[in-house]
Amino acid sequence: MIDLEKKIELIIGKKYLKKFLEIYENFSSLDELSNINTVIDCCSGNGFFGLYLLLRNKVNIIAIDNNHTKKAERLESYFYLNHPDIMDRYKFQKLDIEKYKIPVIENSIILGIHACGDLSDIIIENSVSNNIPFIINPCCYNKYKICWKDSKIKFNGNLGDYVDNLRYNFIKSKYRKVILKTLNNLKNGSNRLIIAIP
């Protein structure tokens, strides 16, 4: 019998699995998140992490993206065929979070893995305005951010470090617990994890 990690690796590849394991360990090790029963997977892309969480946890997954990719459809079909018992806890919702609010559900957490550029900031703003926990793994940095448009801090050095430190300080002013972590074995610019708990 092939074990779960090997099965997932065959589906999503070794690189993604390493990253997901590290994010999952951070997610599952926090006592404050033990009452979470719904993960809102924003900018879900091909659906890898949401489906991975579905296999590992008894949580409900709402995957949100403005594009339901062919790869996501194939992966979902595989899960419906091979794991029909868990797919009643999975829902894909086509939604552009730049235009519409992220749905809020009691005992939920918003997740943004590789939420490119300002999408990370939209997730931050939605989470802060609803006072719910979130985890983001930002990437694709640019100079125009939502949460700190009035910031007087001058940019000097690595843009990713600068932006994520501004994010961290903004979130820290709003949330009880904020964790900024560097993920191993990932290139700079997509190797940070921000976890915020109100």
Instruction: In whole angstroms, give the CA distance from residue 136 to residue 170.
Output: 14
Which residue matches tokens 């997610």? 27
| Choice between 196 and 53, residue whose per-residue pLDDT is larger | 196
With pLDDT > 70 as the criterion, what percentage of the chain qualifies? 83
Strand-by-strand arrangement of the 90-94 sheet: 90-94, 60-65, 38-42, 108-116, 134-139, 192-197, 177-182
| Choice between 3 and 170, residue whose per-residue pLDDT is larger | 170
Q: For the residues 133-149, what does the mean pLDDT come to?
A: 71
| Choice between 162 and 6, residue whose per-residue pLDDT is larger | 162
Q: Which of 4, 5, 1, 59 is nearest to 28 (CA)?
A: 59
Whether pLDDT at 76 is above 80:
yes
Q: For the residues 69-73, what does the mean pLDDT come to?
A: 88
The answer for residues whose C-beta is within 8 angstroms of residue 140's C-beta and 6 or more apart is 116, 117, 189
SS3 7: helix
116-126 exposure pattern, b = at least 16 Cβ within 10 A, e = fewer: ebbbbbbbbbb
Poorest-confidence range of 58-62, 79-83, 110-114?
79-83
pTM of the model: 0.85
Whether pLDDT at 143 is above 60:
no
With pLDDT > 90 as the criterion, what percentage of the chain qualifies? 33
| Choice between 92 and 23, residue whose per-residue pLDDT is larger | 92
- Read off the pLDDT of residues 30-50 as tens digits, 9 standing for 90 and up: 888 888 999 999 999 888 888
Domains of the chain: 4-197 (3.40.50.150)
Rounded to the nearest integer, the mean pLDDT of the chain is 83
The residue length of the chain stands at: 198
To 10 degrees, what angle do helices 4-12 and 48-56 make?
170
The answer for residues whose C-beta is within 8 angstroms of residue 75's C-beta and 6 or more apart is 11, 46, 47, 48, 51
Instruction: In whole angstroms, give the CA distance from residue 23 to residue 7.
Output: 18
Tell me 177's DSSP state.
E
Strands 192-197 and 108-116 come out as unpaired
| Choice between 140 and 46, residue whose per-residue pLDDT is larger | 46
Question: How much is the pLDDT for 2?
Answer: 47
